Amino acid sequence: MKQYIKAYLAGLIDGDGSIMLQLKPRKESKFGIRVKTLLVIYQDNKMKVEMEQLQGELDAGYIYERNDHIIEIRIEGHQQVKRILGILKPFIRFKSKQVELMLNAIKIMRDGIKTKEKLLAVASIADQISAYNYKSSQKKYTLEFIRDILSP
């Protein structure tokens, strides 16, 4: 990928993107919690062609069209998010803390979340990332929530 494309994509993430570490209950997962890594870039759906081109440059993720006229490039999964953030990290400015935190969480999860301590460490990082992001009053799967469900 050319340097100017990396810089452009990093700018989009800084301005119109999200770096998220989501925790959600899931019975099939060990400890009953699924951890999902997400990197998302948002634009008005008038930019669909340009977003499809950028998604092609990234060679990752998929295009998702929302009902509110927003189109997203969604990159999910530990390895894909790690690869893209690794490429774009030198160019990201405003969300550099979230990038570092996400890469640390992915490192913790590289062999799976096999212990409660690892899950709590990842939940702590998820809370830290959320603190840097736009705060949602509906966020309920926090470190405190995870501690509560892990308690006997």
Residue ranges per domain, the chain?
3-150
Strand blocks (E) in 3-129: 17-25, 33-44, 62-65, 70-76
CA-CA-CA-CA torsion sign (129, 134, 135, 138): negative
Does 90 or 139 have the greater pLDDT score? 90
The mean pLDDT value for 21-46 works out to 91
> Taking a C-beta distance cutoff of 8 angstroms, is the pair 20, 42 a contact?
no
Superfamily of domain 3-150: Homing endonucleases (3.10.28.10)
- Give the residue among 35, 23, 24 at the shortest CA–CA distance from 112: 35
Q: Residue 52: its pLDDT value, please? A: 95
Assign 134 a pLDDT band (cuts: 50, 70, 90). confident
Q: Residue 137: its pLDDT value, please? A: 56
Q: CA-CA distance, 125 to 103, in Å (whole number)? A: 10
Q: Residue 149: its pLDDT value, please? A: 81
Q: How many CB atoms lie within 10 A of CB 115?
A: 11
